[in-house]
Amino acid sequence: MIFIVILAIYMGMEVIANVPSLLHTPLMSGSNAISGVVIMGSVIVLGHAKPDDYLSLSLGFLAVVLAMINVMGGFAVTGRMLAMFKKKK
């Protein structure tokens, strides 16, 4: 499992590093969609966790917080990039 995580990190870094700037906004939208799925999954994990299972509760809470930060940051960056293409008065 550790090998798979390390391989996924390496592949993710390589894919992100080679994305052209024209594809940055669609990539942010896809990242926001994936983070939305992570939020829903972590809420489900939190809902099914037993009250004394602190590992599941803490990992679920951490997943919700980090995914929400990613979604909010992604929307902010996408909004600023789209505002650059609006015509100025």
d(CA 41, CA 20): 30
Count other C-beta atoms under 10 Å from residue 8's C-beta.
10
The pTM (predicted TM-score) of the whole model is 0.60
Q: What is the pLDDT of residue 83?
A: 81
In Å, the largest CA–CA distance within the chain is 59
The domain spans of the chain are 30-89
Are 39 and 64 contacting, i.e. CB atoms less than 8 angstroms apart? yes
Q: Tens of pLDDT along 50-70?
A: 989 888 888 888 888 988 888
Question: Which value, to the nearest 10 degrees, does the dihedral of the CA atoms of residues 19, 16, 65, 71 take?
Answer: 10
